[in-house]
Amino acid sequence: MANPATTQLRETLRNGRHSAPSCDERLRGKRVGMVTFSHYPGDPRPRRAIDALVSQGMRVDLICLEDGKTPRREISGSIDVLRIPLKNRRGGKLAYAYQYSVFILISSLIFAWRTLTRRYDLIYVHNMPDILVVSAFAPKLFGAKVILDLHDPMPELMTTIFGLKKESFGVRLISWIEKWSMARADAVLTVNLQCKKIFAARSCSAEKIGVVMNSPDEKIFPFREARPATHSKEDRDGSFVIMYHGSIVERNGLDLAVEALSRVKEAVPGAELRVYGPRTPFLERVMENARSKSLDESIRYLGPRRLEDLVREIEGCDAGVIPNHRNSFTEINTPTRIFEYLSLGKPVIAPRTPGIQDYFNEESLLFFEPGDPESLARSMEYAFRQPAQLGEIARRGQEVYGEHNWINERQQLIGIVGNLLGKQLTGDQSAKQVDTRRIQVSQSKARPADSGGDHV
C-alpha cells in the first residue's frame, strides 16, 4: 500500500508540473534586469528565478557570462539574454578580483545605458560577488527596487578556498563589502536557514532576509516514489552504484569518497563510484590516487551533464553521496544535490553538518562525520547491507523534500517580489493619488473649520 504522504506529494508535484503557478497581478508587465557572474541556462538558481518571474508575466533582461556554446544575444519570449565575452577562470585572489571588476564595470554601463530607454521595476543581482549590486546603481536612481540573492556567503567561501584566517585583512574586507552590498538592496534572498542566521548576525536585520531554497525544478526532476533497493545484501559481488555529481573541487570531498570506497571494496567488491562534473586539476589528482589504489575499474569519471541528462544518470544509481570535507563553508551548506537525488527516489549519504541537519534528521538521510573516510565507508557499507532500511530512509527524506520542493519555494520567491514591487505605484496610480490629494486640499480650503470631532 502506498504511503499517504508520498501519494500526496506525488500528486502535488504532478499537478504543479503541468500547471502554471498562481499569478500575482502586481507583477504582470513589470520589467526585471537580472545579472549573474555565471552561465545561463547552465546555472540552476538564476534559471529557476527567471522561469518563476516570467510565469508572472514579467519581462527579464539578463546579463551573464558567455559560455562559447550559445549566442551572445538571445531573445526568447519575455527573456532577453546578453552574454558578456569573459571567461570565468579559477585562480588566485587577483584573478578573481580582475574578472569580477571587469564584469561589474560592463554590467553597470549596460544597465546605465538601458535605463535611458527602458524603465526597470526591479534589478535582481546574484552573487558572487556581493559587490555586483553596484551594477544596479543607475536603475535604482530611477526608482527600481533591488534584490540581492546571496547564493554563497563569500567570507566563508574565501576562507575555504584560499585558507585565509577569519581575522585576516582580506576576510574582514570581504565581510565589510557584504554588509555594504546588503545595505544597497531593498531585499536580500539566501538559500537556507544557516546562511540567514549568519547574514542577520553580521550584516543586516533578519526581517530583510528571505529564504528561497535551491530545490530542483520539478519540470526537469520529475518525482519518483522511493522504492526498496533491488540488490540483495547476500550478493556481495553484485553491482552497487554510488553517484557523485557537481563541482569537482577539494571542499566537496571527492578524494574522501575515493578513500572510503577503497575501504569498502573488500566487503562489497561490486561497489562502484560514478563521477559527473567538469574536469578540474583536482579531479586529475584524485584519479591518480585512485589508480595507485587499483580502483581504476571501480571509479568511472563520466564528464559533465546538463540538468536534463542528470535525471537518467541518477535513476541508474543506488545511492547518491555528498562526501564533503569539514570546513566553514560546508558546515553551513545545504547541497541542492540532496533534493535532486530524493526527488527521483534515491537515498542520500550526507555529512552531519548544521546546514543539512536544519532540515534532515537521522531517519531521512544516511549520515557520516564530515571529513572522516572511515565513517563514510561505514555508511556506504550499511547502504549496501540494509536495502530495506535504505528504501525507508529515502521515503522519509522525500517527506522533507516535499516541504521544500520548488513549487513551494517558487511561490515564496514570487511572494517576496510581489510584496517588494507591490509597494511601488505605477505611473497611472501615482498620478491618480496626486490628483486625489489636490482635490482633498482644495476641498479643505473651501469649507469652514470644524469645531468638533475627533482629535488626532
Q: Note the pLDDT tens digit of each residue in 299-309.
A: 999 999 999 99
Q: Please compute the mean of the pLDDT values over residues 240-255 and round it to a whole number.
A: 96
Residues 307 and 362 in one domain: yes
In the structure, what pLDDT confidence band is assigned to residue 371 with cuts at 50, 70 and 90? very high
Distance CA 84, CA 99 (A): 11
Q: Pick the range with the lowest mean pLDDT from 85-94, 187-196, 273-282, 322-331.
A: 85-94
In this structure, the answer to whether residues 173 and 281 fall within a common structural domain is no
CB neighbours (10 Å) of residue 344?
A: 24
Residue 75: predicted pLDDT: 97
Q: Give the lowest-confidence range in 18-27, 100-109, 176-185, 387-396.
A: 18-27
Query: What are 207's three cell numbers?
Result: 526581517
- Residue 98 falls within a domain, yes or no? yes
Higher pLDDT, 192 or 433: 192
Task: Give me the number of domains the chain comprises.
Answer: 2
pTM: 0.86
Give the model's pLDDT for residue 389: 92
> Cell triple for residue 34?
537580472
Other beta carbons less than 10 A from residue 333's beta carbon: 28
**pLDDT reported for residue 409:** 97
Q: Do 304 and 177 share a structural domain?
A: no
Residue 16 domain-assigned?
no
Q: Is 394 among the domain residues?
A: yes
Sheet holding 299-301, edge to edge: 299-301, 271-276, 240-245, 319-321, 348-351, 366-368
Q: Does one domain contain both 168 and 42? A: yes
Question: Which of 164-173, 175-184, 228-237 is the most confident on average?
Answer: 175-184
Is pLDDT at 237 greater than 60 in this prediction?
Answer: no
| 218 assigned to some structural domain | no
Q: What is the mean pLDDT of residues 206-215?
A: 97
Alpha-carbon span 208 to 196, nearest angstrom: 10
- Give the largest Cα separation in the chain, rounded: 98
Of the candidates 358, 378, 403, which is a domain's last residue?
403
Question: Which CATH number do you get for residue 114?
Answer: 3.40.50.2000
Q: Does 358 score more than 90 pLDDT?
A: yes
Same-domain check for residues 144 and 97:
yes
The angle formed by the CA atoms of residues 348, 19 and 78, to the nearest 5 degrees, is 100
In which residue are the cell numbers 565513517 written? 375
- Count of Cβ atoms closer than 10 Å to residue 177 Cβ: 17
State what percent of residues in the chain have pLDDT above 90: 77
- Across 428-452, average pLDDT: 37
Under the banding of pLDDT at 50, 70 and 90, the label for residue 455 is very low
- Taking residues 322-333, report their average pLDDT: 96
In a domain, 434, yes or no: no
pLDDT above 50 (res 434): no
> Do 277 and 199 belong to one domain?
no
- 132 and 81 belong to one structural domain: yes
Report the pLDDT value the prediction gives residue 23, as an integer from 0 to 100. Answer: 82
Beta strands in 131-190 (DSSP E): 145-150, 187-190
Q: Mean of the per-residue pLDDT values for the chain?
A: 88
Q: Is pLDDT at 195 greater than 90 in this prediction?
A: yes
Report which of residues 405 and 435 the model is more confident about: 405
**For residue 56, what are the CA distances in angstroms to 20, 49, 50?**
9, 11, 10
Question: Is 253 part of any domain?
Answer: yes
Q: What pLDDT is attached to residue 447?
A: 38
Distance of CA 345 to the CA centre of its chain: 20
Helix (H, G, I), strand (E, B) or coil at 353: coil
Select from 163, 192, 212 the last residue of a domain.
Answer: 212
Give the residue, 136 or 165, on which the prediction is more confident.
136
Burial of 402 (0-12, 13-18, 19+ CB in 10 A): buried
- Cα torsion through 401, 406, 412, 413, rounded to 10: 140
**Domain end position, chosen among 366, 387, 403:** 403
3-state secondary structure of 360: coil
Range of the domain at 349: 240-403
Provide mean pLDDT across the span 91-104.
87
Q: Is the pLDDT of residue 2 over 80?
A: no
Residue 436 has pLDDT above 70, yes or no: no
Which pLDDT does position 9 carry in this prediction? 67
Q: Which residues contact 373 (CB under 8 A, 6 or more apart)?
A: 256, 259, 260, 263
User: Residue 341 domain-assigned?
Assistant: yes
In the prediction, which pLDDT does 395 show? Answer: 96
Task: Please indicate whether residue 170 or residue 191 has the higher confidence score (pLDDT).
Answer: 191
Specify the DSSP class assigned to residue 131.
Answer: G
Same structural domain, 192 and 281:
no
Contact predicate 62/79, CB 8 Å: yes
Q: Are residues 146 and 266 in the same domain?
A: no
What pLDDT is recorded for position 95? 83
What integer pLDDT is reported at residue 208 of this predicted model?
Answer: 97
**Is residue 180 predicted with pLDDT exceeding 70?**
yes
Question: Same domain for 205 and 332?
Answer: no
Structural contact between residues 246 and 43, judged by C-beta atoms closer than 8 angstroms? no
| 163 domain residue, yes or no | yes
pLDDT band for position 68 (50/70/90)?
confident
Q: Give the H/E segment covering residue 400.
A: helix 387-403
Task: Please determine, for residue 103, whether its predicted confidence score (pLDDT) is greater than 50.
Answer: yes
Same domain, 208 and 244: no
Same domain, 376 and 289: yes
